[in-house]
Chains A and B, each alone.
Chain A
Amino acid sequence: MMESYRQTGDNELIKASIEGDRLAFEEIVNRYQKMVARTVKGMLGDSAFAEDIGQEVFIKLYYSLSEFRGEAKLSTYIQKIAINLTLNEIKRRKRFFSMFSQKGDDEVYKYDIPDEDNEVKRDASEIVNKALMSLDPKFRIIVAMRMLHGYSTRETAYILDLPLGTVLSRLSRAQEQLKGILEKL
């Protein structure tokens, strides 16, 4: 039964899911979970907590499927939900940390950057995660969209509901900030 949905288009899967077909919705989850993982884990770091947000993304998607008009691609729709929930989580953490920590807002997300001579094995995931987590959240989302998903500036602007000029200027500032961060890694 599951095999039969592998070739099924998104629109058919949506219709079947709305009618309560569990396997159809499971196929949607299987199809887009990597994309959601890139967004959520790229923004929040690799933790079990990020997985909870990932689950929330698909639960929210399920309950809003009937509102999906098909004007945008399903992947874009899911991406928007993932970004909104992730940004909400970042704001929630920021509020929490600002209540219990003496650190400034900008310091809240920063990873402890190891010394240059620290002989820790650094693979691509580790470098990217540390770099992303050290970035200002408003730059982090722009960078994650481009670096992890390969979205163009126009696509990023559309997904984030931001003017193209804002995306371009944040991208440029993010690049400068990233250079400084990567020099220390």
Chain B
Amino acid sequence: MKPSEIKKLLIDSLSTDNDPAEAARQLQDAGLSYDFSREFSARVTDKLFSASSAVIRHVEFVRSMNYAFSRIALTGAAAIVLLLISIFIMEGSFSLNSILGLSDSIDESIICLLTGN
């Protein structure tokens, strides 16, 4: 199709008297075509489904961390309670020294060591 014919077709295609579908078909026959690259659909689905799997991996990681944390936290809390009970039984109080495992005589020993008396 000559450029002048294409131009006429373009003008005519906008006229409400003409069938737009027919004009569009004629333009396609004249070589008017729009296409994306050959890998277009693969690129789209790669983006979508690799993004989905990344989200799933992230959710799985957070879920695993939560599970591990709850197990560790419960075990840790149980260990702390047992330790406090044993300290109370051994030392008879919850003072800082008893929790740290220090006796009053140790304070005096430290003073002796530092002052040399």
Contacts and interface: CB of A to CB of B under 8 A. Distances in A.
A16 interface: no
A160 B45 CA distance: 27
B117 interface: no
A147 B49 contact: no
Q: Which 3 pairs show the lowest CB-CB distances between chains A and B?
A: A150-B24, A150-B21, A29-B41
Interface in A48-82: 51, 54-55, 58-59, 62
Contacts of A42: 34
Interface in B1-37: 1, 3, 6-7, 10-11, 13-16, 19-25, 27, 30-37
Q: Is the interface of B mostly helix, strand, loop or mixed?
A: helix
Given A147-B13, A171-B14, A34 B47 contact: no
B25 to A, nearest CB: 7
Interface string B33-55: 11111001111110111001000
Contacts of A174: 14
Contacts, number: 109
Contacts of A146: 13-14, 20, 23-24
Interface residues of A, number: 44
A148 B34 contact: yes
Contacts of B42: 26
Nearest to A35: B34
Nearest to A37: B34
A1 to B, nearest CB: 14
Contacts of B34: 34, 37-38, 41-42, 46, 148
A29 B49 CA distance: 14
A53 B33 CA distance: 18
